[in-house]
A and B are shown apart, each in its own frame.
Chain A
Amino acid sequence: MLQIAFFAFIALTLIGALTVLLTRNVLYSAYALLLTLLGVAALFVFAGADFLAVSQIIIYVGGVLVLVLFGVMLTSKPTTISTSTVVASERSNAILAGSRGVWLGVLLAAGLFFGLSRLLMNAHFALFDQPISKAPTTIDTIGKQLMTEYIVPFEVISILLLVALVGAGYLAKKSIKP
């Protein structure tokens, strides 16, 4: 039963990612990205990382995806009327984006996937022979690690966020005079 759910979530992840690749509508690809992020969060749960799954939802779905949707809506240009005779209000609501170099991209990606899977099939990871964790949750360990071993990255992250807030706020402000 658990295995069926596992492979169903793998299918959800890959279908979402493929939809991002194949659709021309930018808003559709944003929603397909949402499906992929949900699938990855579920796979995190299967890999025993429940806190990381929740933070995936909070950071990616609650934060990054919202920003991406804002980016789409902020840069949507009303499609030029000269290209079609239909009145603007009667056209379906779609923000389209084309693609280029399709064969090169697909070839490169397929080659990369082929190479990686050859590598994975021939590999034997010694770590996978270790016993897996029996802890009911990982949040305690992550908290302890953040306060001891990763204390410097923890503080540096706050400075990074400060810099990102200042920089992006400045960039997104209404008028910048060069």
Chain B
Amino acid sequence: MLSQFGIMFLFILTAFAFIGGILLFGKLLRPDRPTEEKLTTYESGEEPVGNAGVQFNPRFYVVALVFVLFDVELVLLFPWATVFGQPTLIAETGGLWGWFALTEAVVFVVILALGLAYAWAKGYLDWEKPQPQLPTVATKVPTTLYEQVNERYKRPTTP
């Protein structure tokens, strides 16, 4: 039957579903007369360039991937944590239960940590910074001249 937590959980789910329902009914009820001006992304008066649906950088995906797999690990460790230290089970098996469950969970976590270490070592988690492109201008003036000018007009550093 419904547990106490189950009833609370239904209320939480209803709250989330309600948001969707309200948006849907608003969509059904309101007048819909789109113009180009209305469809434009609001950018504080600036004329926006391009669409909001731009393509993301794929490096975000790898981070999301690592997150999901450890999310799954978390879900499996919850039921383990509830039975791991139960005194009745430990007493029934003469203390063996706790050690057995601990070993199994450690093996489980270590195998997944191996995956994290692999991803780390392979550089999947590295954040590739874009290299700044220094502009080069074909000119006869040597760069040392610019540096001299910079030196001469250098702003005194505040102490």
A residues near B, CB below 8 A? Answer: 2, 5, 9, 12, 31, 34-35, 38-39, 41-42, 45-46, 48, 50-51, 53-55, 58-59, 62-64, 66-67, 70-71, 73-79, 86, 88-95, 132, 134, 136-137, 139-140, 142-144, 146-147, 151, 154-155, 157-159, 161-162, 164-166, 168-170, 172-174
Contact = CB atoms under 8 A, between A and B. Distances in A.
Contacts of B3: 48, 50, 136-137
Interface residues of B, number: 70
Contacts of A55: 75, 78
Contacts of B134: none
Given A67-B64, A70-B56, A137 B115 contact: no
Contacts of A169: 62, 65-66, 118-119, 122, 124
Contacts of B66: 165, 169
Interface string B8-23: 0110011011001000
Contact of B55 (A34, A77, A93): A77
Contacts of A39: 13, 17
